[in-house]
Amino acid sequence: MKFLHSMVRVKDLDKSLQFYIDHFGLIEVKRYENEEGQFTLVYLAAKDDLKADSKINSPLIELTYNWPNDKGETEDYGNARNFGHLAFAVSNIYKTCQKLLNHGVTINRPPRDGRMAFFKSPDNISIELLQTG
């Protein structure tokens, strides 16, 4: 068995991509548009998970964007807590948190002990940072 990805439903794909790529530093590695199903899937990887040959041997994050209906409405996913969190190991937790703060991201649980921090995505997904080592 191999863990493939965590799927997160997003309401605003552009806003979510700006957050995950520009602010947090993930890389888009694959995109799938499904006209019939009216959805877009975007797969993201952490920079350190990309090998020199561009192959990925780590789990990905799948952002699922369900297109608006004929009235231009998108589904409201609410603030359900049925999804726990995404976790990433980082080499410098304080530097990573400062970068996020510089982009206006609120750190809900700062790295007081130097080992762990939590913040949320635009879609209210909790993200945990763990200091490597």
Which residues, 6 or more positions from 64, have their beta carbon under 8 angstroms from its beta carbon?
7, 8, 9, 10, 39, 40, 41
How many CA atoms lie less than 13 Å away from 113 in the CB half-sphere?
Answer: 8
Nearest to 103 by CA among 7, 20, 12: 20
In the residue annotation, 75 being an active-site residue is answered as: no
Nearest to 119 by CA among 102, 4, 132: 102
Catalytic hit among 33, 62, 73, 128: 128
Question: What are the Cα distances from residue 62, in Å, to 3, 52, 103, 108, 109?
Answer: 13, 22, 23, 23, 25
Give me the active site residues, please. 128
